[in-house]
Chains A and B, each alone.
Chain A
Amino acid sequence: DIVLTQSPGTLSLSPGERGTLSCRASQSVGNYLAWYQQKPGQAPRLLIYDASSRATGIPDRFSGSGSGTDFTLTISTLEPEDFALYYCQQYGSSLTFGGGTKVEIK
């Protein structure tokens, strides 16, 4: 199975700052990678699919990049509502999720 490793585990930032989250795959997944946001007590919400395509209704401050084994989710300017957990998911070979990155208020 493909293992996804997300880093850092926790990202401490202030509103207005730029957030950069990493997801590394144990083998190539092409561009078959998605990103989700999850807030406490809520279901995950799709942000990005196919590595760089924004899902419906997602603000353009969220962007995804990468291919193969290295992927990045960038939040250009953190809004208060962006402090949450973020997961990557690959679908290049079966389906697996990364362990998550928590974006917390510094």
Chain B
Amino acid sequence: EVQLLESGGGLVQPGGSLRLSCAASGFSFSSYGMSWVRQAPGKGLEWVSAISGRGTSVTGGTTKYADSVKGRFTISRDNSKNTLYLQMNSLRVEDTALYYCARRGSSSWYGEFDHWGQGTLVTVSS
């Protein structure tokens, strides 16, 4: 059974940093593209960042970012630990949201998400 378990959320002041983690199990993690998708309280879904699986790059995952987080957030993965990360710097109040880890249906970074975690809440407030 595919399982995705996010952690690392919490309360942080504007300008601060957090690192989110997503522990994956039940599938060959390195073979799949992964993304972070967020949902502000009472709002819709917003794609944040993606990384491809091993199959599409000799050097590692291709990474992509939404314009709203480019230059502030960094996505990475440790295939030996079956874990996805999101390093979030220079956090803003508008980054407050539930952050979901989501699996792609293949190794590419773009496409539909066939499995989702339950999310970890990030609150940016002074």
Contacts and interface: CB of A to CB of B under 8 A. Distances in A.
Interface in A25-49: 32, 34, 36, 38, 43-46, 49
A8 B66 CA distance: 26
A56 B114 CA distance: 9
A11 to B, nearest CB: 16
A89 interface: yes
A98 B44 contact: yes
A5 to B, nearest CB: 12
A96 B67 contact: no
Given A34-B112, A87-B44, A89-B112, A43 B117 contact: yes
A75 B117 CA distance: 25
Interface residues of A, number: 23
A30 B16 CA distance: 40
A44 B112 CA distance: 12
Q: How large is the interface on B (under 10, 10 to 19, 20 to 34, 35 or more residues)?
A: 20 to 34
A55 B111 CA distance: 13
State the majority secondary structure of interface residues on A.
loop
Interface string B31-47: 00001010000001111
A43 B119 contact: yes
A45 B47 CA distance: 15
Contacts of B111: 32, 34, 49, 91
Contacts of B118: 43
B64 interface: yes
A83 B69 CA distance: 33
A-B CB proximity, top 10 nearest:
A34-B112, A43-B116, A49-B112, A95-B47, A97-B45, A91-B110, A100-B44, A91-B111, A99-B44, A46-B114
Interface of B: 35, 37, 44-47, 50, 64, 66-67, 100, 105, 110-114, 116-119
